[in-house]
């Protein structure tokens, strides 16, 4: 009986809260910045329809034809993880978009080292646009950056589109927020006060 009271007394004197608040430090052999999702993209489709996962997997693998293969997993309803096995395969997908399936555009993002893939914001797509009705002396990258940031967020200027003396349009890649309405036109006021209207396609 005495032993029972001793144990009871020791339990009463234990401060569980202090135990829980005690700091724990990983050893040097643990690398905090290792990104297990380095060759992964997370994405969703801009649609309210249910995606046929099997058909989507088949279509995506057929269109992209990755050299080392691709693994596609549904993390939760409507959120997909695309795992690649070669960096060039992943970069080809990132640069080659936007992608779609069953008439629904796909939003894709890389996964930061410390981020849960399910919690990565999926609101932006990178897309090529053409700007028409620009004067020839406005066909510059500096102008392109300003217009790109008006229609979305400037991402890339297509230098190859400038190889010809006569250019019908300027080609830019911009980042679009899918929650915002698309902008179709931009009015530009020249130094002499006259105006031109640039249309976006």
The predicted pLDDT at position 130 comes to 93
pLDDT digits (tens, 9 = 90+) for 96-131: 878 888 899 999 999 988 889 999 999 999 999 999
According to DSSP H, which parts of the chain are helical?
Answer: 2-13, 16-21, 53-64, 87-96, 141-151
Q: According to the CATH classification, is domain 40-122 in 1.10.3720.10?
A: no
> Where are the chain's structural domains?
40-122, 125-200
- Residue 11 in this model has a pLDDT that exceeds 60: no
User: Hey, what are 167's tokens?
Assistant: 């250019």
pLDDT above 90: percentage of residues in the chain: 36
Measured between alpha carbons, how far is 29 from 7 in angstroms, rounded to an integer?
39
- Residue 60 in this model has a pLDDT that exceeds 90: no
* Closest by Cα among 73, 110, 81, 75 to 95: 110
Higher pLDDT, 27 or 78: 78
The predicted pLDDT at position 167 comes to 80
> Cβ distance 189 to 195 under 8 Å?
yes
């Amino acid at each position: 009986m005495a032993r029972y009271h001793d144990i009871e007394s020791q339990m009463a004197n234990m401060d569980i809260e202090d135990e829980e608040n005690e700091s724990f430090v990983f050893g040097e052999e643990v690398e905090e910045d290792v990104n297990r999702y380095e060759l992964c993209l997370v994405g969703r489709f801009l649609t309210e329809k249910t995606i046929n996962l099997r058909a989507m997997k088949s279509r995506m693998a057929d269109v992209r034809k990755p050299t080392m293969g691709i693994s596609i997993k549904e993390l939760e309803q409507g959120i997909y993880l695309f795992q690649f096995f070669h960096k060039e395969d992943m970069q080809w997908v990132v640069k080659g978009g936007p992608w779609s399936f069953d008439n629904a555009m796909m939003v894709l993002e890389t996964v930061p080292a410390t981020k849960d893939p399910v919690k990565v914001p999926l609101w932006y797509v990178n897309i090529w646009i053409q700007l028409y009705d620009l004067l020839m002396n406005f066909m510059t990258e500096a102008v392109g950056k300003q217009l790109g940031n008006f229609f979305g967020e400037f991402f890339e200027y297509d230098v190859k589109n400038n190889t010809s003396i006569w250019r019908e349009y300027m080609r830019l890649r911009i980042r679009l927020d899918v929650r915002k309405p698309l902008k179709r036109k931009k009015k530009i006021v020249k130094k002499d006060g006259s105006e031109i209207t640039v249309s976006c396609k």
